[in-house]
Amino acid sequence: MLSDYHFIGVFVLVAIAFPFLALGIAWLLRPKKPNPVKTAIYECGLETIGDAWVRFRAQYYIYALIFVAFDVEAVFLFPWAVAYHRVGLWALAEVFLFLGILTIGLVYAWRKGALRWQ
């Protein structure tokens, strides 16, 4: 099992090396003449006011929370799907229950207006 992953390990190393190689070649070839106008933040010709590092809308967190619920569910469902043919009909009933609770969560969020952009 674990021996399957030596290929993945080599792949990770090569995949990390690839962008470094490409950026390195570009670093050797490209001109380097920065000036203040060139390195200004691009904002369609206007002068930038303040940082972009600001607090952002709470709405994004609500979407993220719903996502976390469904993503964790997916982690549980993958082993269920693989082992499904080996377990009896109870597995189906249990997953009905599991998905039902999740669906209630989604419906609740929906009714509360969490999915409405405002």
Partner 1 sequence: MGFWNFVLNFWTELGAWVGNVLSGWGLPPWAVNLIADVLGVLVLVVIGVAAVLIFTPMERKVIARMQDRPGPNRVWPYGLLQAIPDAIKMLTKEDIVPEKADRQLHMLAPILVVIPSLLVYAVLPWGPRIIGQDLNVGVLYIVAISTIHILAVLIAAWGSDNKFALLSAFRVVNQLLAYEVPMILSILAVVLFTKTMSTQGIVEAQTLPYFLVMPIAGFVFLVCALAETNRSPNDLLEADSELVAGYMVEYSGMKFAMFFIAEYVNMFASAILLSTLFLGGYKFFGLENAAPVLTPFIVFGKASFVIFLMLWFRATFPRMRFDHLVGFSWKFLVPLSLVNLILAGIAVKIPVADPRWEPWVQGGVMAIASLVIIAATAWILNRTARKLEGAPALKRIVAAER
Angle, vertex CA 94, rays to CA 77 and CA 72, nearest 5: 30
Q: Is 47 helix (H, G, I), strand (E, B) or coil?
A: coil
Q: Min. distance of Cβ 77 from partner 1 in angstroms?
A: 5
- C-beta of 50: minimal distance to partner 1 in Å? 9
Please provide the DSSP assignment of 45-83 as one string: TSPP-S-S-----THHHHHHHHHHHHHHHHHHHHHHHHH
Smallest distance from partner 1 to CB 68, Å: 9
User: Cβ 55 to partner 1, closest distance in Å?
Assistant: 11
Q: Answer yes or no: are the C-beta atoms of 84 and 78 closer than 8 Å.
A: no
- Report the interface residues with partner 1, using CB under 8 A: 1, 4-8, 10-12, 14-16, 18-20, 22-23, 25-27, 29-34, 36, 38-44, 48, 51-54, 56-57, 60, 63-64, 66-67, 70-71, 74, 77-78, 81-82, 84-85, 89, 92, 95-96, 99, 103, 106, 110, 115-117
What are the tokens at 49? 């006011």
